[in-house]
Amino acid sequence: MSSSGRARAAVATAHARDESLDLADVRRRLKAIFVGSVGNLVEWYDFYAYAAFALYFAGSFFPGNDPVVQQLNSAILFAIGFIVRPIGGWLFGHLGDQYGRRKALMLSVLLMCFGSLMIAVLPTYASIGVAAPVLLGLARMLQGLSLGGEYGTSATYLSEVADEKHRGFYSSFQYVTLIGGQLCAILVLLILEQLFLTPEQLRAWGWRIPFAIGALLAVTALLMRRNLHETDHFNASKHVARHESSVRALMRYPREVLVVVGLTMGGTTAFYTYTTYMQKFLKLSVGLTDGQTTMVTAGSLLFALILQPTYGALSDRIGRKPLLVWFGVTGTLFTIPLLYALQSTKSAFVAFLLIATAWLIVAGYTSINAVVKAELFPTRVRATGVGLPYAITVALFGGTAESIALWFKSIGVEHWFYYYLTAVIAVSLLVYVSMRDTKHASAMHRHE
């Protein structure tokens, strides 16, 4: 073979080797994103099974004849799960930043398993009195700790394993699986309602089934996460000396922390309005039947799930900021008319269309908020920076959205909540307008 022929063969071999390495890298990233996302789905399924089945088990823990009061009591315990989320955000953020994202992800799903299993076997108020709601609150606290750690760590992990050109698209799968977890909870409810159990059976004992399923799924997710590889970003940051705690290190980035709080306020309140609270709203305010409520909720969540990667991919092309501004502007302008129209309709199909319209707005936040937060912080404080201020804000605004809405309803001024939600979104809009676009000013490759 001539020298030129040998040179061409060497170049071809090198190209083939590079393509093989690129393909292996893509497979490695996709596997990591899939496993990380599946674990996230299981955790959110476990957490939202509570909200999905609250209409059936509230009477078992909160005696009385007023369904609104029963739902308000269950919503307060739902909010307790959010109150402890900042502790989870700090604890698992510290573990993720100090010892690796993989270990933190494994511990968070293990804790969720305990919380779900505890709810599945809890005695009712009729059996042990006031201890029943107390133990239910304890189980919700365990789930809240787990979820507080899951959000920041999984958002960090998905953002770090994604390649730069498609980070918005891949990171959007956190909310795909987050919403997917809620959708799975609703689908389990729908299957039990339509195929297996009567409403009386669901109220008597059937509500325990989804929590038992959740505990088993959490064990499966734990086994899958055991084989996750650590991210290159974390490995590259190991040489950085860690002489201070994660929270103290985070305090060196006050502007970024305030941005996380500001951009989360409106988005998390809107998100929990159209997810956890919407099921009660359709039942108690719109007047749909149990079956219609479940179908509309499931359909709207499926629509929301499809929107997430679509908006995420769009953010890779036009930036993160335009989508956040879209949510802020349209949320401020259309939240009140949308909720008034929803309250006045008697059609399940019209209710679905209105909620789907709301999701066209809210997806501007949900699809990219995780990657935006991850792009704000350097590697050594990223899991804490994403998880802790987010968890505090969600505890104050997202976790209380349902309780505030039900309280307004209980005193006869339900529409006040529409104005409250609009005001919170408007405050976040001010942050969206003033913040930099993290796609073009990312801290992802900073390890200090």
Taking only the tens place, the pLDDT of each residue in 157-168 is 777 777 778 788
Written as one letter, the residue type at 431 is V
Looking at residue 445, its amino acid is H
pLDDT-derived band at 118, boundaries 50, 70, 90: confident
Over residues 294-302, the mean pLDDT reads 86
The whole-number pLDDT of residue 14 equals: 40
Domain-located, residue 443: no
300 assigned to some structural domain: yes
Q: How many of the other CB atoms lie within 10 Å of CB of 1?
A: 8
In this prediction, residue 13 carries a pLDDT of: 47
Q: SS3 for 112?
A: helix
- Whole-number Å distance between alpha carbons of 212 and 201: 16
The CB density around residue 401, as the number of other CB atoms within 10 Å, is 27
Percent of the chain with pLDDT over 90: 19
Q: What is the mean pLDDT of residues 378-404?
A: 84
Give the DSSP per-residue string, 253-304.
-HHHHHHHHHHHHHHHHHHHIIIIIHHHHIIIII---HHHHHHHHHHHHHHH
Amino acid at residue number 354: L
State whether residue 66 is helix, strand or coil.
Answer: coil
> For residue 200, with 0-12 CB atoms within 10 Å meaning exposed, 13-18 middle and 19 or more buried, which class applies?
exposed
| Cα(210)–Cα(409) distance, integer angstroms | 29
pLDDT for 67 beyond 80:
no
Question: What does the pLDDT read at residue 82?
Answer: 73
Question: 324 or 72: which carries more pLDDT confidence?
Answer: 324
Residue 359 scores a pLDDT above 70: yes
Residue 119 lies in a domain: yes
pLDDT, position 443: 62
Cα distance between residue 24 and residue 108, in whole Å: 29
Angle 85-99/101-121 helices, nearest 10 degrees?
150
pLDDT cut 70: percent of the chain above it: 86
Q: Which two tokens stand for residue 386?
A: 């994403």
Average pLDDT, the chain: 81
Contact (CB, 8 A) for 43 and 147: yes
**What does DSSP assign to residue 123?**
-
- Mean pLDDT value of segment 218-233: 78
Could you tell me the pLDDT band of residue 287, with boundaries at 50, 70 and 90? confident
Between 160-164, 356-360, 371-375, the lowest mean confidence (pLDDT) is in 160-164
CB of 316 closer than 8 Å to CB of 165: yes
> How far apart (Å, rounded) are the C-alpha atoms in residues 441 and 60?
52
Using one digit for the tens of pLDDT, what is the confidence trace for 311-341?
999 998 999 999 999 999 999 999 999 999 9
Cβ burial, residue 142 (10 Å; 0-12/13-18/19+) = buried
Instruction: Name the phi and psi angles at 245, rounded to 5.
Output: -70, 165
pLDDT at 15: 44
- 402, pLDDT greater than 50: yes
* pLDDT above 80 (res 43): no
Q: How many CB atoms lie within 10 A of CB 367?
A: 30
Residue 16 within a domain: no
pLDDT for position 18: 41
d(CA 310, CA 216): 31
d(CA 416, CA 37): 37
Around Cβ 161, how many Cβ atoms within 10 Å?
24
pLDDT of residue 339: 93
Q: In total, how many domains does the chain have?
A: 1
Residue 121 structural domain = 31-230+252-434
CATH number of the domain at 359, please.
Answer: 1.20.1250.20
- Residue 16 has a pLDDT of 42
Classify residue 247: in a domain, yes or no.
no
d(CA 306, CA 310): 7
CB of 38 within 8 A of CB of 379? no
Instruction: Please give the torsion angle defined by the CA atoms of residues 260, 443, 331 and 78, in that order, rounded to the nearest 10 degrees.
Output: -40
Domain-embedded: residue 265: yes
Which pair of tokens denotes residue 246? 């994660």
**Cβ-contact 280, 55 below 8 angstroms:** yes
Indicate the SS3 state at residue 212.
helix
Whether 25 is in a domain gets the answer: no
pLDDT tens-digit readout, 144-153: 888 777 777 8
Residue 242: inside a domain: no
Residues 6+ apart with CB under 8 A from 264: 369, 389, 390, 393, 394, 397, 428
Element (H, E) at 371: helix 369-376
List, as own/partner pairs, every contact residues 413-422 make where C-beta atoms lie below 8 angstroms and the sequence separation is at least 24, other chains included: 414/285, 414/343, 415/339, 415/340, 415/343, 417/339, 418/335, 418/336, 418/339, 418/340, 419/336, 421/269, 421/270, 421/273, 421/335, 421/339, 422/331, 422/332, 422/335, 422/336
Q: What are phi and psi of 138, to 5 degrees?
A: -65, -45
**Residue owning tokens 């957490």:** 47
- Residue 202's pLDDT is 84
